[in-house]
Homo-oligomer: A and B are copies of this chain.
Amino acid sequence: MERNTRQRSAIRDAIALAARPLLPLEVLDAAQAGAPGLSIATVYRNLRAMVDEGALRMVLLPGENARYEIGGSGHHHHFQCRGCLKVFEVDACPGNLQHLAPTGFSVEDHDLTLYGRCGECLGASGGTTAQTACEH
């Protein structure tokens, strides 16, 4: 039922290769290598299809456009670097947070985003804004 087009493979490969959640435009950019002429509409259509199908997961950070990562990995969180603005996966989780909610509320799930400096941005410039050091 699902066809294996050049475009779809290029999109999947781009995300798998990135090893971090990508924005639709980053996907377009990376996937155009393997699928010349690839359009942004096709990127969006495939991202959605692959999310429905479970192959991808949508990564939503507060105030940011949706990013996409390879699906399948279990519950985890994300870290956004304030230097290069890239997002990284974080495997740890604070666990059950029912105790934080107001009395009478029932907690079923949670989203957590950490902010700070990634190793690369910390290393490159010792502490001050590291924009220049990251290829972003």
Contact = CB atoms under 8 A, between A and B. Distances in A.
A79 to B, nearest CB: 6
- The count of identical subunits is 2
Contact of A122 (B92, B104, B119): B104
Interface stretch (A7-15, A33-41, A110-118): A110-118
Interface stretch (A23-31, A43-51, A57-65): A57-65
A105 B117 contact: yes
A116 B88 CA distance: 26
Nearest to A63: B60
A79 B99 CA distance: 12
A72 interface: no
Size class of the A contact interface (CB-based, 8 Å): 35 or more
Nearest to A66: B63
Interface centre among A63, A105, A117 (most CB of B within 10 A): A105
A107 interface: yes
Contact of A77 (B58, B93, B100, B118): B100
Interface of A: 58, 60-63, 66, 77, 79, 81-82, 88, 90, 92-94, 97, 99-119, 122-123
Which 7 residue pairs spanning A and B have beta carbons closest together? A104-B119, A60-B62, A60-B63, A92-B100, A108-B116, A107-B116, A109-B115
